[in-house]
Amino acid sequence: MRVLVQGAGVAGLTAAFELAARGAAVTVVETRHGLGGNASWFAGGMLAPWCERESAEQPVLDLGRDAADWWDTATPGQVTRAGTLVVAAPRDAGELDRFANRTSGYRPVDENEIAQLEPDLAGRFRRALFFPDEAHLDPRQAMAALHDRLAAMGVEFRFGADARQISGFDRQLDCTGMSAVDARLRGVRGEMLILRTPDVSLSRPVRLLHPRFPLYVVPRTDHRFMVGATMIESQSTGPVTARSMMELVVAAYALHPAFDEAEIVETGVGVRPAFPDNLPRVETSGDTVAINGLYRHGFLLAPAMARQAAELVFNQDRTKELAHETVGQRRSA
Partner 1 sequence: MFELLGTTLPSRLLLGTAQYPSPAILADAVKASGTSVVTVSLRREMAGGRAGEKFWSLIRSLGVRILPNTAGCHSVKEAVTTAKMARDVFGTSWIKLEVIGNHDTLQPDVFGLVEAARILCEDGFDVFPYTTDDLVVAERLLEGGCKVLMPWCAPIGSALGPVNITALRSMRGHFPDVPLIVDAGLGRPSHAATVMELGFDAVLLNTAVAKAADPVGMARAFGKAVEAGREAFSSGMLEPRDVAVPSTPTIGRAVFS
Under rule CB under 8 A, which residues in 22-61 are in contact with partner 1?
A: 55-57
In whole angstroms, how close is the CB of 188 to partner 1 at the nearest point? 8
One-letter amino acid for residue 230 of the chain? T
In whole angstroms, how close is the CB of 106 to partner 1 at the nearest point? 16
Under rule CB under 8 A, which residues in 212-251 are in contact with partner 1?
A: 212, 232-238, 241, 243
**Candidate residues 32, 65, 81, 98; the one interacting with partner 1 per rule CB under 8 A:** 98
Half-sphere exposure of 22 (CA within 13 A, CB side): 20
DSSP string over 15-80: HHHHHHHTT-EEEEEESSSSS-SSGGGG---EE-HHHHTTTS-HHHHHHHTTHHHHHHHHSTT--B
In whole angstroms, how close is the CB of 146 to partner 1 at the nearest point? 28
Q: Whole-angstrom Cα distance, residue 307 to residue 311? A: 6
One-letter amino acid for residue 23 of the chain? G
In whole angstroms, how close is the CB of 30 to partner 1 at the nearest point? 24
Task: Give the nearer residue to partner 1 in terms of CB position, either 62 or 287.
Answer: 62
Half-sphere exposure of 102 (CA within 13 A, CB side): 15
Instruction: Tell me the number of residues near partner 1 by CB under 8 A.
Output: 26
> Any contact of residue 211 with partner 1 (CB under 8 A)?
yes
Under rule CB under 8 A, which residues in 270-289 are in contact with partner 1?
A: 274, 276-279
**Nearest CA among 3, 2, 22, 7 for reference residue 294:** 7
Task: Decide the pairing of beta strands 206-209 and 281-285.
Answer: unpaired
Binding segment (CB under 8 A) for partner 1, from list 79-87, 94-102, 123-131, 155-163: 94-102
Residues that bind partner 1 (CB under 8 A): 55-57, 98, 101-102, 185-187, 189, 211-212, 232-238, 241, 243, 274, 276-279
